[in-house]
Amino acid sequence: MTDVFVRDSPLRRSYLWQGGHTLRSWLLSTDHKRIALLYAASITLFFFLGAVAAALMRLTLIDPQGRLMSAETYNKTFTFHGVVMVWFFLIPSIPATLGNFLVPLMVGARDLAFPRLNLFSWYLYMVGGLFTIACLLLGGVDTGWTFYTPFSTMFSDSHVILAVVGVFVVGFSSILTGLNFIVTIHTMRAPGMHWYRLPLFIWGIYATSIVMMLATPVLAMTLCLIGLERLFGVGIFDPSLGGDPVLFQHFFWFYSHPAVYIMILPAMGVVSELICCGARRRIFGYRFMTWSLLGIAFIGFLVWGHHMFVAGQSMYASMAFSILSFIVAVPSAIKVFNWVSTLYRGTIDFHAPMLYALGFIGLFMLGGLTGLFLAAVALDVNLTDTYFVVAHFHYIMVGGSVMAYLGGIHFWWPKITGRLYSERMAQLAAVLMFIGFNLTFFPQYLLGYMGMPRRYHQYPPQFHALNVLSSIGAVVLAISYLMPLFYFARSLRSGASAGPNPWQAAGLEWMTSSPPPEHNFVETPVVTEGPYAYHEHEEQA
């Protein structure tokens, strides 16, 4: 193993070797690329923990009586799944791994603005993670990831406080990461890299960082209030103490709706990169793409009440939140149309990253269109809190964010590791994932339409067949998630050397060696053209 490293000279001149190769040199590294890998390893771990919980639920739901586990265990399982997948996987996924690795490279900087803060963010993430794991080991929590009051504050006798502390801590990690990105993008762009020359990935990260910084403090405050009421009986949300349970829902969704955009905006950025490279075309409507990202981030703050149409909020408030939810869908529609138009007159390669990107567009569109049903208040009354909603947000978050994340990992893998992977296997996994995903979640739309409420560990017999179908889909999905572990491991051991730019892609990150040296660029690059300069390459060829 070390032999390979020693002989392999591109590796010796890269961040993988230069910063030292002890465990300590990794755990104390302030190199954004190494920190990105620390995050990658830890979120992968949490992803598979959350996935095991999902698998157990799908297994339980094969049986209408749900005899595999008790109601209590089932409730703890979906809570764990939600908490882990939202806060320990989806939110950090693209920003903390790809963002950390690529933001300095793409803007032509040596590192992030605050390298030590960046390392600190990872430690915060890990501390939050430890609380969550501790909570699981001590018996778990059964409130759902939404921590609705007064159940979470006065009625649940599970480990609510541990879970809340874990989420509280990890929230600061995301605030600090957002801050770091914003400062970096503002102040450390290479000469000539003005705002409208930034790749859309950077715009996506930028928009997300703003949301992280503005929304996460509200979550932190809300979690503190849960602690105050639960530990000290300060009446805030529990009506028997004079509090208001609906107030909690306002606070919670004021954060958690924007959190959806924390998860999807960077994914949109990734997909823009992949589509342009895969079609060898400049992005269609670049300025509309940038402004739609910012538009979503901004309007996204004004729609939280669409989670509460039947929660007891006033009829008129629901109307306002409904129209705003429709408005926030407009920029998303613009993005889909622009991506598809980018294919026009392109030269399309169907390598794995491109397959993921195309899959993303399809699934994101289906998730978005079903979102329109939920934004229409009168339809939402029937559909909310059923499996229709479960299907809807999994289309956006798993079909959207996870597909984009994996597409991005495949695209930049050669840059990160300096190695190629088996293209065949990767294409197969991408296709399987698309099929498995639809098989798992499309039946859930139908279940919701038929009236099956969510968070049920047993259900009436008319829902049986579709639940079995969904569980079968989950098996396919699980296989497609495990496959990359194998071919990526093989790539690390024996993959062919990638060279600086295996995709012939545009972008500063491809102009340095793979893997990049410790300070990214030997000479600070000077930017003379906009992003996605694929047409120019073509003319030269």
Partner 1 sequence: MSVVRLPQASSFAPSIDHMFDAMVILCGVVAIGVFAVMIGMCIVYRRGSKADRSIPVAQQMGIELAWTLIPFLLFVGIFAWSIRLWVHLRSPPADSLTIYVVAKQWMWKVQHPDGRREIDALHVPLGKPVRLIMTSEDVVHSFYIPAFRIKQDVVPGRYTQLWFKATQAGNFQLYCSEYCGTNHAAMLGTVSVLPASDYARWLVSVTAMTPEQRGRQLFVQMGCSGCHDPQSGIRAPDLHGLYNMPVHLNDGTVVQADDAYLRESIVFPASKIVQGYTPIMPTYQHRVDEEGILALIAYIRSIGPAPPAASQDRSSHD
Question: 369 or 420: whose CB is closer to partner 1?
Answer: 369
User: Does 233 help bind partner 1 (rule: CB under 8 A)?
Assistant: no
Region of 90-98, 224-232, 317-325, 408-416 interacting with partner 1 (CB under 8 A)? 317-325
User: Does 246 help bind partner 1 (rule: CB under 8 A)?
Assistant: yes
The answer to whether the CB of 138 falls within 8 A of the CB of 165 is: no
The answer to whether the CB of 509 falls within 8 A of the CB of 106 is: yes
Q: Is 84 helix (H, G, I), strand (E, B) or coil?
A: helix
CA 78 to chain CA mean position, Å: 18
257 binds, among partner 1, Cu ion, none (CB under 5 to 8 A by kind): Cu ion
Alpha carbon distance 174, 166 (integer Å): 13
**Nearest alpha carbon to residue 147 among 87, 66, 91:** 87
Question: 427 or 513: whose CB is closer to partner 1?
Answer: 427
Question: 100 or 318: whose CB is closer to partner 1?
Answer: 318
Q: Which of 14, 370, 480, 514 binds partner 1 (CB under 8 A)?
A: 370
Alpha carbon distance 110, 188 (integer Å): 9
- Residue with smallest beta-carbon separation from Cu ion: 257
Positions 201 through 230 that interact with Cu ion (CB under 5 A): none
Question: 35 or 433: whose CB is closer to partner 1?
Answer: 433
Number of residues this chain uses to bind Cu ion (CB under 5 A): 1
Positions 89 through 118 that interact with partner 1 (CB under 8 A): none
**Largest Cα–Cα distance of the chain, in whole Å?**
74
Q: Which two tokens stand for residue 411?
A: 């695209």
Alpha carbon distance 509, 441 (integer Å): 36
Least gap, CB of 156 to partner 1 (angstroms): 7
Q: Which of 9, 187, 458, 504 binds partner 1 (CB under 8 A)?
A: 458
User: Does 446 help bind partner 1 (rule: CB under 8 A)?
Assistant: yes
**Nearest alpha carbon to residue 457 among 70, 50, 55:** 70
Q: Which residues pair with 453 in a beta bridge?
A: 386
Alpha carbon distance 206, 160 (integer Å): 33
Q: Which of 217, 453, 500, 517 binds partner 1 (CB under 8 A)?
A: 453
> Integer distance in angstroms from the first to the last C-alpha of the chain?
40
CA 254 to chain CA mean position, Å: 19
Alpha carbon distance 381, 109 (integer Å): 50
Binding mask 252-291 for partner 1 (x = CB under 8 A): ---------------------------x-xxxxxxxx---
Region of 43-51, 249-257, 354-362, 381-389 interacting with Cu ion (CB under 5 A)? 249-257
Region of 107-115, 141-149, 209-217, 414-422 interacting with partner 1 (CB under 8 A)? 141-149
Phi–psi pair at 497, nearest 5 degrees: -70, 140
Question: ∠ CA 265-263-441 to the nearest 5 degrees?
Answer: 115
User: Does 299 help bind partner 1 (rule: CB under 8 A)?
Assistant: no
Read off the amino acid at residue 303.
V
Least gap, CB of 343 to partner 1 (angstroms): 4
The DSSP annotation for 128-174 comes to HHHHHHHHHHTT---STTTT-TTIIIII--S-HHHHHHHHHHHHHHH
Least gap, CB of 490 to partner 1 (angstroms): 26
User: Does 457 help bind Cu ion (rule: CB under 5 A)?
Assistant: no
User: Does 472 help bind partner 1 (rule: CB under 8 A)?
Assistant: no
Q: Which of 189, 257, 281, 457 binds Cu ion (CB under 5 A)?
A: 257
Least gap, CB of 72 to partner 1 (angstroms): 5
Question: 257 or 351: whose CB is closer to Cu ion?
Answer: 257
- According to DSSP, residue 386 is labeled B
User: Does 346 help bind partner 1 (rule: CB under 8 A)?
Assistant: yes
Binding mask 372-391 for partner 1 (x = CB under 8 A): xx-xxxxx-xx-xxx-----
Least gap, CB of 470 to partner 1 (angstroms): 12
Contacts with Cu ion by CB under 5 A lie at 257
